[in-house]
Amino acid sequence: MTIPGVIDHPDKNNSDHFVVGRNEAEARTNAAKKFNVPEDQISLNQDEDVLDTWFSSGIFPLSTMGWPNEEHDDYKAFFPGHLLETGHDILFFWVARMVMMSLELTDKLPFKTVFLHPMVKDENGAKMSKSKGNVIDPLEVLDSCDLETLHKKLYESNLPQGEIAKAVQDKTVKFPDGIPECGTDALRFTLMSYMIQSSINLDVARVVGYREFCNKLWNIVKFALKNFPEGFQP
């Protein structure tokens, strides 16, 4: 929004520069009241990202299949689906919205079965969040990550300075030598071992332990293969 003499360079990150209306005329009227200027002095620009996150996610089963063209090959082949796999924390935020949107727009359920997997949390049972700085990147566990890089990611985030200081101290205590390389198999094995629980309190030390276990299995197999007689059939 541009108002001569009032807002010459609008900051799109400043919510004070936004107004809402059912149409452009209503938005202009609301802006005039908000900034106490005549309507003809206001220049409006519609935000390109107008869909609410969960609204746009709610039409995911449809929008990715060519809808509203119900004759689209993808739509006819893949909608409705059969199984949705997700976590319990977004049952209302996402799953319920997909069901409601699909029923409203197509009169069909988007899926008939919902498989709920455990939530992946940090080792203390807290939900991983960028705002807490406790997110563990799977690639860091697979390929390793030194402590300096872990700290650098925190400083490049949008965390408040106080939270960055706490997260830096936390990672220094947990990973004084960084995160060691664990590989794909060890991470998969660890996650599977947690599956009997309602949540996965992911501890990197446990991944390292399963890496060593996988290595033992590999060495056993190599030893056995070397000592089987020629032509052995299991």
Predicted confidence (pLDDT) at residue 1 exceeds the cutoff of 80: no
C-beta of residue 202 within 8 angstroms of C-beta of residue 121: yes
Is pLDDT above 70 for 64? yes
Residue 11 has pLDDT above 60, yes or no: yes
Domain boundaries, the chain: 1-48, 53-117, 121-219
What pLDDT band is residue 5 in, cutting at 50, 70 and 90?
very low
Closest CA to 175 of 204, 134, 139, 212: 204
Average pLDDT over all residues of the chain: 87
User: Can you tell me the distance from the alpha carbon of 136 to that of 202, in angstroms, rounded to the nearest whole number?
Assistant: 9
Say how far apart CA 128 and CA 53 lie, in whole Å.
20
- CA dihedral (162, 164, 168, 169) in degrees, to 10, reads 20
Q: What is the pTM of this model?
A: 0.56
What pLDDT score was predicted for residue 101?
94
Torsion sign (Cα): 28, 33, 38, 42: negative
